[in-house]
Amino acid sequence: EAAIIDMPKTVGFLNGMFSLVKYGLSNCNGGFGAFNGCREGIFSRGVGHLAFSMPYNEASDDDQAEAVVSKLSTLLTSGRLSTSN
């Protein structure tokens, strides 16, 4: 499996990921999109962009951390993560 991944493909993938963060889903600097809109941080010409929102409105940092770990436990281990393992 590792034989099909060579350095040009790896560099192209990394360029595409950096472009996705900087310009949104466009073809700027080796991006994955089809549209050209190369203005850093302005995503209006791109097909889409990455966004982040805080989904947890917990009262304290400990409660928020527990909610995040619980969500990751569900996503990554189907809820099998516990304090004993």
One-letter identity of residue 54: M
Residue 7 has pLDDT above 70, yes or no: yes
The dihedral of CA 40, 44, 49, 52: what is its sign? positive
Q: What is the mean pLDDT of residues 43-67?
A: 72
Say what the pLDDT of residue 52 is. 63
The Cβ of residue 20 has, within 10 Å, a number of other Cβ atoms equal to 19
Region 21-31: mean pLDDT is 81
Whole-model pTM above 0.85? no
The per-residue pLDDT for 33 is: 76
